[in-house]
Structure 1
Amino acid sequence: MSDLYAIYGASGCGRGVMPLARQQCRALNVPVDRLVFIDDGAGATEVNGHRVMTFAQFVAEPASRRLANIAIADGRVRERLALKCSAHGVNPWTVRAEASQLYDDVVVGEGAIICAYVTLTSNIRIGRHFHANLYSYVEHDCAIGDFVTFAPGVQCNGNVAIGDRAYIGAGAVLRQGKPGQPLRIGEGAVVGMGAVVTKDVPPGVTVVGNPARLMEKGGARG
């Protein structure tokens, strides 16, 4: 009985990650029919050449091990699904593009997605289920929590600390902090698309613009 691998989510994020997962599974000699999507609301049985299963079907499928990478951009949803997977004995696995770079003393927690042209330089600590989308980078001496999401093109400069479930929008720039005095992005904060963050962002707020400022009501993620 062989292992069964899945990308959890068959919408845009999941479809973008699946080719990376397929490349990785091919290197592990995993048959293509043992790499599937999990999606309870897809309304299709196949997407881009891969079976689509409900979660119940996935955990019922005979397998020596079941592994899932959660390709859902919202960190709060990702956390809830990670707990669900854990409760059913589904193991996390990391999907990393060949065209990504991890340099010296970089530690990334389980279940990450590291997309193409992402660079993580040196002395970096990143928590569980991190998403680093296309062309993002993390510079030296950064500490990033669990379930953090980087949209494409995020520029995270050195000495930055990011709390759990923060969302950093496409093209956002996080100014470099100082040793012992990092720039801080609070837990659950949202940094809008293209924002330039020059000072600490409190937990749970949304900031936008250049320089980034508090958005008083609502706000869309980029």
Structure 2
Amino acid sequence: MRFAIYGTGGMGREVAPIAADQLVAEEISYLSDDRPDIVFVDDSENAPTVCNGLPVISFRQLQSSEHRTRKIIAAVGDGRIRKKIEDRCIAADLQIASLTAKTARIFGGVAVGAGSVLCDFTTVTSNIKIGKSFQANVYSYVMHDCVIGDYVTFAPRVCCNGNVHIGDFAYVGAGAMFIQGTRDRPLIIGEGAVVGMGAVVLKSVAPYTVVVGNPARLVKTLHRPD
């Protein structure tokens, strides 16, 4: 078995075909025996045994010699849960993988951290720094000179224009748009901020706040984790 996907929820099921395509591209998708190339990992009480035609195993089974893999990805939408999963995997000496769909585009001068997922039709343009375990769902884009922290999540069709800085663990809902910042005054989305679906963000967003609407406005302040 070559690849494990931690999570059988929506994100896990969506990234499985990307993982299959990537294994084919790396020419390691076929083994000499009958073991599957990709498995799901799910420790929940009511976990299925099969998900979309792929086996589902526990984390303990994953660590056994029979199922030992070289690569795993945390395929859940919540950034803090992703971090907990990745910390557990690293402690178990598993390699955190990244996935990039065949239709995704990455231009020059881009650095993307381990554990990231770029889904179909996403675009990351020029001179961009992205941290660990970034998730960009379908049709999202990140434009020039952006800085994105660790464990940030973009739902589908997020429009992140140039010179935007996004803090760790921020979540951006489907169809949200960020006005372009400048090199001297980037638009800043604070750590742990939540930007609601369809929001049009025209000014910086404070850490651990929720903004919604057009223009985006503050509706809630979140508890800051210890």
Q: Identify the TM-score tier after normalising by the shorter chain.
A: over 0.9
2 CA distance for matches of 1:55 and 1:66? Answer: 14
Structure 2 unaligned regions, length at least 5: none
- Greater CA drift, 184-193 or 34-43: 34-43
- Which residue matches 1:184? 188
TM-score, normalising length: structure 1: 0.93
1 CA distance for matches of 2:86 and 2:47? Answer: 22
Amino acid at match of 1:33: P
2 CA distance for matches of 1:209 and 1:67? Answer: 39
Correspondence for 2:37 among 9, 34, 46: 34
Structure 1 unaligned regions, length at least 5: none
Seq. identity, %: 48
Amino acid at match of 1:51: P
- Which residue matches 2:136? 132
Show CA shifts across 1:67-107 (max 9, x none).
11111000011111111111111111111100010011111
Amino acid at match of 1:29: I
Correspondence for 1:210 among 207, 214, 221: 214
Amino acid at match of 2:86: A
User: Structure 1 residue 168 and structure 2 residue 166: aligned?
Assistant: no
User: Structure 1 residue 54 and structure 2 residue 58: aligned?
Assistant: yes
SS at match of 2:111: strand
- Greater CA drift, 28-37 or 159-168: 28-37
- Greater CA drift, 77-86 or 37-46: 37-46
Amino acid at match of 2:89: C
SS at match of 1:147: coil
1 CA distance for matches of 2:47 and 2:115? Answer: 26
Correspondence for 1:86 among 62, 86, 90: 90
1 CA distance for matches of 2:105 and 2:2? Answer: 27
SS at match of 2:93: coil
- Which residue matches 2:203? 199
Divergent runs of 4+, >4 A: none
User: Structure 1 residue 15 and structure 2 residue 18: aligned?
Assistant: no
2 CA distance for matches of 1:181 and 1:217? Answer: 24
Q: CA deviation at 1:26?
A: 2.2
User: Structure 1 residue 145 and structure 2 residue 145: aligned?
Assistant: no
Does the 8 Å contact 1:66/1:89 carry over to 2?
Answer: no
- Greater CA drift, 32-41 or 199-208: 32-41
Does the 8 Å contact 2:8/2:41 carry over to 1?
Answer: yes
Does the 8 Å contact 1:172/1:191 carry over to 2?
Answer: yes
Amino acid at match of 1:30: S
Q: CA deviation at 1:217?
A: 6.8
Aligned positions, number: 216
1 CA distance for matches of 2:135 and 2:15? Answer: 10
- CA RMSD across the alignment: 1.5
Amino acid at match of 1:34: D
Amino acid at match of 1:129: S
Amino acid at match of 1:191: V
Q: CA deviation at 1:65?
A: 4.5
Amino acid at match of 2:50: E
Does the 8 Å contact 2:151/2:169 carry over to 1?
Answer: yes
